[in-house]
A and B are shown apart, each in its own frame.
Chain A
């Protein structure tokens, strides 16, 4: 099992819809979790971090963490074409090493 896995894309949603991005992680990844957005040719941009079970909301973004199921997700409400990007899920190990998933490509169709 890979340490951080993401559902394979590309994911296409119509403008205004909810985009749901999912990520699972192994036992080795047990600390903080992060969602990064990466536009083509650019570096990753931190959009959400979550450390404890439950939901965390920031504007149109909601991160959900379920440690028992080793699952973290990102919901994007009212998706906009500008949200079209690759979304990277990452988790931190007990040794402070951050491990990234392969990313999910999101396309928001106007």
Chain B
């Protein structure tokens, strides 16, 4: 079975631009979470979606938004990019929302803001 997939792999944007990152969960998984990982730190939770509804939000500004589609894939949008948004953006999927335990990560999208 295919794992979690993310696109694009790498992305370079300039300050003030907007970016959309995409994620497809493991087949059968209905929950998707997004994380930001800055170099040298652990992943920081951004959002969790389950059955197309937001189930959790981390301490990120409103410039960050996300959505989940009927096929359980998800998009993360970041507006008005700042240099500090440069990071590895990770998507993780679990079979279900509440009560789900292990989550599995995709390869990530490396975003560089110049």
Contact call B45/A43, Cβ cutoff below 8 A:
no
Chain A interface helix/strand/loop/mixed: strand
Q: Find chain B residues with CB under 8 A from A100 CB.
A: 35, 42-44
Q: Find chain B residues with CB under 8 A from A99 CB.
A: 45
Tell me the bound Cα distance from A100 to B55 in angstroms.
Answer: 18
Contact call A96/B55, Cβ cutoff below 8 A:
yes
Q: Smallest CB-CB separation from A101: which chain B residue?
A: B42
Q: What does the 1/0 interface line of A64-103 toward B look like (CB < 8 Å)?
A: 0000000000000000000000001010100111111111
Q: Is A49 an interface residue (CB 8 A)?
A: yes
Q: What does the 1/0 interface line of B86-107 toward A look like (CB < 8 Å)?
A: 0010100000011111111111
A36 to chain B, nearest CB (A): 8
Interface residues on A, range: 20 to 34
State which residues 18-42 of A face B: CB under 8 Å: 32, 34, 36, 42
Q: What does the 1/0 interface line of B34-54 toward A look like (CB < 8 Å)?
A: 010000111111001000000
Q: Is B108 an interface residue (CB 8 A)?
A: yes
Q: Find chain B residues with CB under 8 A from A98 CB.
A: 33, 45, 103
Q: Find chain B residues with CB under 8 A from A61 CB.
A: none
Q: Is A54 an interface residue (CB 8 A)?
A: no
Number of A-B contacts (CB under 8 A): 53
Chain B interface helix/strand/loop/mixed: loop
The residue that A43 contacts in the complex, of B42, B44, B56, B107, with Cβ under 8 A, is: B107
Known: A49-B102, A95-B56, A98-B103. A103 touches B33 (CB 8 A): no
Q: Is B8 an interface residue (CB 8 A)?
A: no
Q: Knowing that A96-B98, A97-B48 are A-B contacts, what are 19 other residue pairs whose CB atoms are under 8 Å apart, sorted by A's residue number?
A: A36-B105, A42-B107, A43-B90, A44-B90, A46-B103, A49-B101, A49-B102, A90-B42, A92-B101, A95-B56, A96-B55, A96-B97, A96-B100, A98-B45, A100-B42, A100-B43, A100-B44, A102-B40, A102-B41
Task: State the A residues within 8 Å of B (CB).
Answer: 4, 32, 34, 36, 42-46, 49, 51, 88, 90, 92, 95-103
28 contacts between A and B (CB under 8 A): A4-B42, A34-B102, A42-B107, A43-B90, A43-B105, A43-B108, A44-B43, A44-B90, A44-B105, A46-B103, A46-B104, A49-B101, A90-B42, A96-B48, A96-B55, A96-B99, A96-B100, A97-B45, A97-B56, A97-B58, A98-B33, A98-B45, A98-B103, A100-B42, A100-B43, A101-B42, A102-B40, A103-B42
